[in-house]
Amino acid sequence: MAASLRFAPVLLFSAPLTFLGIVLGGTWVWSGPIVIIAVLLLGDLLWRNDLSMPESRRPWPFDLFLFGQVPLSCAALFLLAWCAAPGDLGGLGAFLQRWTDWPLLQRHSELSTLNKLGAAWSTGFLLSTNTVVAHEFIHRPRSLASMIAGRWLLAMVGDAQFSISHVQVHHRWVGTRRDSATARRGEILYSFVIRSVLGQLHSSCEIEGNRLRQAGRAFWSADNRFLSGLAMTLAVVALFFLAAGWMGVGLFFVCAAYSKFLFEAVNYIQHYGLVRSEDAPIESRHSWDCVNLFSSCFLFNLPRHAHHHLRAGDPFWELKAYPGALALESGYMAAILLAMVPPLWIRVMARALRCWDEKLATREERALVRAAGAAR
């Protein structure tokens, strides 16, 4: 159990901190992400080049923190609905006020629209980890519990299609023009997010249409995973409407949109500017790794990304930094913040890409880079 505790920060730190800020109301609703960002930046700065791996062969302690994301997400969305609701939804405020003597009901009634948006922003920041956890689950097709949990975690942030496009497109076509989740050189984060989201939606819909057509089934049926994923999200939206009206629905969409944006920012930095010939094998040099301790712990080793692309079925706690993969100079949080300022990101990454071109790229890949540059 002790070996798995390195992956406990989301469940034991990020979630309680975010929940506390939302319950306290006022400007406190913004505090969770601010503190978490500061901790990630400082932790990654102090603990770089972490190559360690937990020495436990029992999977259940690690899975405990993964499956814990499901009740965590339910609690987070309930708190967001409570913020949006005009009354004390479920009597939560009265219950907590009896135990703490804090004036929570008054603060709840005085919560401004701006601070309600802050609660949605904080919830979206926290639930961006849903896609990280679901990413692990959807690579376990033989585990029904994992697949169900992964689909619902994605649906709760409006992105159930990810379970289709990620496995069948990204893992097959990463580094090529066929993969909308690979960021191109010089492409800014904001335009990438739009292109990636639309491309994934199109791919997932097309994949399901082809699969059902080959099976002799109708597109508009319960067998369509793309449509059933949308229905799962609509069920969450309906619950928000019943609990908090249109304000609740609006805050849910803010939460889901910000969660998706953050995960697409992760997609952006993981393969930015790297290219691959469509007929060439995927190698460790086609991903940017990150070996900073706090990034790995908060994101369940997702930053050890090259290993994942080479052996997608390996559980997250067995992922290691792979030889041949270039590492980002900073942790994930710092890289995401840098990517939000496109001129700085492009300038910093230009140096790393020159190194990749000269030392790791094949002749065919250098030709692809030149052709893409000439086309711009």
Indicate whether 70 pLDDT > 70.
yes
Mean pLDDT, to the nearest integer, of 53-61?
79
> So what's the pLDDT on residue 96?
93
Q: What is the arithmetic mean of pLDDT over 43-61?
A: 84
Confidence of residue 232 (pLDDT cuts 50, 70, 90): very high
Model pLDDT, residue 49? 82
Q: Which pLDDT value is given to residue 329?
A: 84
**The predicted structure's pLDDT at residue 151:** 97
Question: Is 374's pLDDT higher than 70?
Answer: no
Average pLDDT, the chain: 94
Give the least confident one: 42-51, 63-72, 244-253, 318-327: 318-327
pLDDT band for position 54 (cuts 50, 70, 90): confident
Identify the pLDDT of residue 326: 78
The secondary structure of the chain, three-state, reads CHHHHHHCHHHHHHHHHHHHHHHHCHHHHHHHHHHHHHHHHHHHHHCCCCCCCCCCCCCHHHHHHHHCHHHHHHHHHHHHHHHHCCCCHHHHHHHHHHHHCCCHHHHHHCCCHHHHHHHHHHHHHHHCHHHHHHHHHCCCCCCHHHHHHHHHHHHCCCCCCHHHHHHHHHHHHCCCCCCCCCCCCCCCHHHHHHHHHHHHHHHHHHHHHHHHHHCCCCCCCCCCHHHHHHHHHHHHHHHHHHHHHHHHHHHHHHHHHHHHHHHHHHHHHHHCCCCCCCCCCCCHHHCCECCCHHHHHHCCCCCCHHHHHHCCCCCHHHCCCCCCCCECCCCHHHHHHHHCCHHHHHHHHHHHHHHHHHHCCCHHHHHHHHHHHHHC
Bigger pLDDT: 31 vs 325 = 31
pTM for the model: 0.95
Mean pLDDT of 142-147: 95
User: What would the mean pLDDT of 2-18 be, rounded to a whole number?
Assistant: 92
Rounded to an integer, the average pLDDT of 101-128 is 95
Cα separation, 76 vs 350, in Å, equals 39
Predicted pLDDT at 101: 85
For residue 324, pLDDT over 80 is answered with no
103-112, 187-196, 281-290: which is most confident:
187-196
Show Cβ contacts of residue 312 under 8 Å, excluding neighbours closer than 6 positions: 139, 171
**Look-up: residue for tokens 């990101």?**
345
Q: Looking at the predicted structure, is the pLDDT value of residue 376 above 90?
A: no
Average pLDDT score over residue span 253-264:
98
1 band by pLDDT with thresholds 50, 70 and 90: low
Q: Please determine, for residue 59, whether its predicted confidence score (pLDDT) is greater than 60.
A: yes
Would the pLDDT of 325 be above 70? no
Q: How far is CA 33 from CA 14, 18, 220, 374, in A?
A: 8, 7, 40, 41
CA distance linking residue 306 with residue 285, whole number of Å: 7
Q: What is the pLDDT of residue 304?
A: 94
pLDDT of residue 71: 97
* Three-point CA angle 128, 130, 133, nearest 5°: 125
Average confidence (pLDDT) over 31-39? 97
